[in-house]
């Protein structure tokens, strides 16, 4: 087959999986991945109670989850189970399309938006065992519809409804998060700005013959304010680092997993924790997830909320204009990006 321009950009992980190939670039040191650590007790927070007058107990649960492991499962969120199944289905159907069809939406060499996977930046980089579809969703004027699949046919309709639901859910959660710390309800939401971005990343983890040495996504923390993850309904894979130990995140079939991103850790002056996490691979079952990243408007700038700075908890982070830029600079140097936002000890 003649090579098209896109095919020179990347090879899909699915193609590697189909050939039972695990190139060296995907392999971590032998024995370095614990595939079955203990299960993490992620609190389940009932959204319908969070928005009711008698919400204190639910606010406490939310606060304690975001402080201790950096994540919660939201249940009773008002989004129908059957609709969440449809969202999962459009993702599965997209990744199951023939390669030529998917390549119509392929990212270009220097961009991340579109269908693709890890960019190879250095020789010794380890690559993630996953294919992705990355779409800028809000504000609407930054949408690049050429990357929005036209197959399956209902893709756009289902996705448009889902992102509307996600916008409302994120606003409601950011308010509850502030309320749980007894600060002004809009103080996190306002820092995201009216023109904050929403990014969607459909993740597809093909079968992998070596789950003991290959990762679906290497360890990282999210650069977002918060992330809303629709996990696979049946297949586990996500792990979270807590007190220097890895834990498995349980599957809650119709729950939505919310995790704190670096930018809410900064806004909360470190009270809420942006958890380091990674994704394992699986030799028997494929896995699909959809991550929605709520990203503050870079024109607004973020920083710790004044009321959360006091003598016991001095200001721990600088005010920052464009966190995402800082994030990628540090990430490429192999550092934990949020470190660059911290006020160094000597200044105290
Ligand atoms: C991510 C991520 C987890 C998962 O996309 O940033 O951490 O389980 N995904 O797919
Ligand atoms: Ni992540």
CA of 347 to the centre of ligand 2 (A): 31
**pLDDT tens across 108-124, in order?**
888 899 999 988 888 78
CA of 310 to the centre of ligand 2 (A): 31
| Residues surrounding ion ligand 2 at CB below 5 Å | 222
What distance in Å separates the CA atoms of residue 188 and residue 177, rounded to the nearest whole number?
A: 8
Closest ligand relative to 289 C-alpha:
1
Instruction: Please tell me the residue having the least CA distance from ligand 1 atom 2.
Output: 291
For residues 153-157, give the mean pLDDT: 98
**pLDDT tens across 166-191, in order?**
999 999 999 999 999 999 999 999 99
Question: What angle do helix axes 155-180 and 81-95 make, rounded to 10 degrees?
Answer: 120
Which of 198, 203, 231, 251 is the best mutation target for the ligand 1 pocket, counting ligand atoms within 8 Å of the beta carbon and taking the most? Answer: 203
Which of 198, 205, 291 is the best mutation target for the ligand 1 pocket, counting ligand atoms within 8 Å of the beta carbon and taking the most? Answer: 291
- The CB of 113 under 6 Å from ligand 1? The reply is no
pLDDT at residue 332 in the model: 72
Q: Examine the pLDDT at 282 and tell me if it is beyond 90.
A: yes
pLDDT at residue 14 in the model: 96
- Decide if 203 contacts 92 (C-beta within 8 A): no
The reply to whether the predicted model has a pTM over 0.75 is yes
Q: Examine the pLDDT at 5 and tell me if it is beyond 50.
A: no
Instruction: Please tell me the residue having the least CA distance from ligand 1 atom 5.
Output: 291
pLDDT at residue 3 in the model: 42
Residue 18 CA to its chain's centroid (Å): 27
Q: Examine the pLDDT at 4 and tell me if it is beyond 80.
A: no
Closest-CA residue to 216 (of 224, 227, 207, 225): 207
Cα→Cα distances 17→5, 160, 207, Å: 22, 31, 6
Q: Examine the pLDDT at 77 and tell me if it is beyond 50.
A: yes
Which of 222, 289, 295, 327 is the best mutation target for the ligand 1 pocket, counting ligand atoms within 8 Å of the beta carbon and taking the most? Answer: 289
- State the sign of the Cα–Cα–Cα–Cα dihedral 12, 17, 18, 19: positive
**pLDDT tens across 200-217, in order?**
999 999 999 999 999 999
Q: Examine the pLDDT at 7 and tell me if it is beyond 50.
A: no
CA of 279 to the centre of ligand 1 (A): 7
pLDDT at residue 9 in the model: 61
Mean pLDDT of the chain: 94
Q: Examine the pLDDT at 300 and tell me if it is beyond 80.
A: yes
Q: Which domains does the chain have, with CATH numbers?
A: 15-346 (2.60.120.330)
Q: Examine the pLDDT at 8 and tell me if it is beyond 70.
A: no
pLDDT at residue 11 in the model: 87
b/e code 156-167 from CB counts within 10 Å (16+ = b): eebbeebbebbb
pLDDT at residue 110 in the model: 82
- The CB of 102 under 6 Å from ligand 1? The reply is no
Q: Examine the pLDDT at 222 and tell me if it is beyond 90.
A: yes
pLDDT-derived band at 341 (thresholds 50, 70, 90) equals very high
**Percent with pLDDT over 70 in the chain:** 96
Q: Examine the pLDDT at 262 and tell me if it is beyond 90.
A: yes
Q: Examine the pLDDT at 27 and tell me if it is beyond 80.
A: yes
């Amino acid at each position: 087959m003649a090579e098209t321009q896109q095919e020179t950009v990347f090879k899909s992980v699915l193609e590697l999986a189909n050939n039972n190939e695990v190139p060296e670039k995907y392999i971590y040191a032998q024995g370095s991945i614990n595939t079955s650590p203990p299960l993490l007790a992620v609190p389940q927070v009932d959204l319908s109670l969070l928005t009711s007058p008698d919400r204190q107990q639910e606010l406490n649960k939310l606060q304690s989850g975001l402080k201790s492991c950096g994540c919660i499962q939201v249940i009773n969120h008002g989004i129908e189970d059957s609709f969440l199944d449809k969202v999962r289905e459009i993702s599965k159907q997209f990744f199951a399309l023939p390669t030529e069809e998917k390549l119509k939406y392929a990212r270009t060499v220097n961009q991340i938006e579109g269908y693709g996977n890890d960019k190879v930046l250095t020789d010794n980089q380890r690559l993630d065992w996953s294919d992705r579809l990355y779409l800028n969703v809000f504000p609407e004027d930054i949408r690049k519809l050429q990357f929005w699949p036209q197959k399956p046919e209902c893709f756009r309709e289902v996705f448009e409804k889902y992102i509307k639901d996600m916008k409302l859910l994120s606003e409601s959660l950011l308010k509850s998060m502030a309320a749980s710390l007894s600060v002004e309800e809009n103080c996190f939401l306002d820092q995201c700005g009216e023109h904050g971005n929403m990014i969607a990343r459909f993740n597809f983890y093909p079968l992998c013959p070596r789950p003991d040495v290959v990762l679906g996504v290497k360890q990282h923390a999210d650069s977002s304010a918060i992330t809303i993850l629709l996990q696979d309904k049946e297949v586990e894979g996500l792990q979270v680092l807590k007190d220097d130990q890895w834990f498995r995140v349980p599957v809650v079939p119709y729950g939505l997993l919310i995790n704190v991103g670096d930018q809410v850790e900064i806004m909360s002056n470190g009270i809420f924790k942006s958890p380091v996490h990674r994704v394992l691979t699986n030799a028997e079952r494929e896995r699909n997830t959809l991550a929605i990243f709520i990203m503050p408007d870079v024109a607004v700038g973020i920083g710790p909320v004044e009321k959360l700075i006091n003598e016991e908890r001095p200001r721990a982070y600088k005010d920052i204009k464009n966190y995402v830029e800082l994030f990628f600079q540090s990430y490429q140097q192999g550092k934990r990006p949020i470190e660059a936002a911290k006020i160094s000890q000597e200044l105290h």
